[in-house]
Structure 1
Amino acid sequence: MSKKTAAPKDAPHKARRQRLPADERREQIIDGAVAFFARVGLEGKTRDLAKDLGITQSLLFNYFETKDALIEAVYAQVYIDRLSPDWPVLLADRSVPLRSRLLAFYSDYSKLIFEYEWMRIFMFSGLAGAELNRRYLEHMHKMILHPLLEEVRAASSQGIMPDMEDLWNLHGGIVYIGIRQHIYRMPCPENPGPAIERTVDRFLQAFSVPLS
């Protein structure tokens, strides 16, 4: 009678891939893609992403037919889905001083964008010439900056009228705090609130908008 030989205890074995519900697997892929593209840029290869996720590239393409479709899902999760529909209402509420409205908005917005993934993907997208940045900035122009321009003009006590470039300078100055931290890796304040407050106050004073 032949003797069955036992496999060595240290023999390699192939781990089984965990089966997940389709919606959960899709979210896992998007979450992984956000971290992956933030680390390596939008030029990163889907086969490397699949390897990071512990899945096959063919499984990844079962959920996203193309890399562009996957990047669209990343764009939606990191940028569009995080924008609050309440912000335009907040900024247009003239029963509240404009300074308070601006500080409330930029307090919320800075928590959204002062993140590694947001900053890195935004910078990589711009360098790659992708459409994500243009679409996002157009959305911000329509949703936030254009209505805000009207509010600043209405609040100016001496009729000093800002233009859209002035609003972009305000917005860009605040965003730059996050760029310093996540792109340039420079020391930044743990609490950006005072820096945002000073930036907003300088902007309002330049156009004779009361601070209270």
Structure 2
Amino acid sequence: MPALDGTVVPRRRRLEPEARREQILAAAVAWFAEVGFAGTTRDLARRAGVTQALLYKYFASKAELTEAVFERVYLGRLDPRWLDELRDRRMPLHARLCRFYRQYTAAIFTYEWMRIFMWAGLAGDALNRRYLGHVGERLLAPMGQEIAAATGHAPGMEDLWNLHGGIVYIGIRRFIYRLPTPEDPGPAIDAAVARFLRAP
């Protein structure tokens, strides 16, 4: 449709409701990763190419949208098969832990995940506490059980968090501090797991 000055203004493409919701959610992930959770829905709607009213048609509040981002970025990347593989005692313990952390880092070592995690932490947001609680309960605690079964020594949760945090820090250095990191974190993961299992 021509504007008053004769230029052509592109019409907003009509999308099915699910596709429109997905468009807004994808824009929200990118937006919150860039500016943090203090970013306004007005600016987000502009970034997504929709009106603020349309955004609220799909997400009734900013809190609801934030929850959807949490589901997408955090919980949506956790594969339930990882736990089954961690418990598969046909494979040596070292190999199981390395396989898990290779899969886990492949899932979370992204600009969006690391940046949103950083912003949520700085804001004191409950999202991070929920996610870390989920990781501790659903992944690290079972991991500790497998280590105890294989070695006869039950590691403390703080020890498990030290292993976990050291591996995740590779991604933090890459995406937050923009420091050089190995293109393939696999060898560093293998070494970290080996050191952990050797520790008294």
Alignment TM-score, normalising by the size of structure 2: 0.95
Please give the root-mean-square deviation of Cα atoms over the aligned residues, in Å.
1.6
Matched, 1:93 2:93: no
23, 32, 39: which one pairs with 2:34? Answer: 39
Q: Residue 210 of structure 1 corresponds to which residue in structure 2? A: none
194, 199, 204: which one pairs with 2:192? Answer: 199
Q: Letter of the aligned partner of 1:106 in structure 2? A: Y
CA shift for structure 1 position 8: 10
Identity score, percent: 56
Q: Which runs of 4+ in 1 moved over 3 A?
A: 7-10
Matched, 1:26 2:21: yes
Q: Letter of the aligned partner of 1:204 in structure 2? A: L
Matched, 1:69 2:76: no
* Number of corresponding residues: 199
**Unmatched tracts of structure 1, length 5 or more:** 1-6, 208-212
Tell me how far apart the structure 1 counterparts of residues 150 and 3 of structure 2 sit (CA, whole Å): 79
**Unmatched tracts of structure 2, length 5 or more:** none
Q: Letter of the aligned partner of 1:175 in structure 2? A: V
Q: Letter of the aligned partner of 1:36 in structure 2? A: W
CA shift for structure 1 position 12: 3.1
Deviations 1:146-188 (A, max 9, x none): 01111111222xx444211000000000000000001111111
170, 173, 182: which one pairs with 1:189? Answer: 182
CA shift for structure 1 position 34: 0.4
Equivalence map 1:1-212=2 (5 Å): 11-156=6-151, 159-207=152-200
Contact 2:114 2:175 in 1 (8 A): yes
CA shift for structure 1 position 93: 1.4
Cα distance, 1:90–1:49 mapped onto 2, change above 3 Å: same
CA shift for structure 1 position 51: 0.6
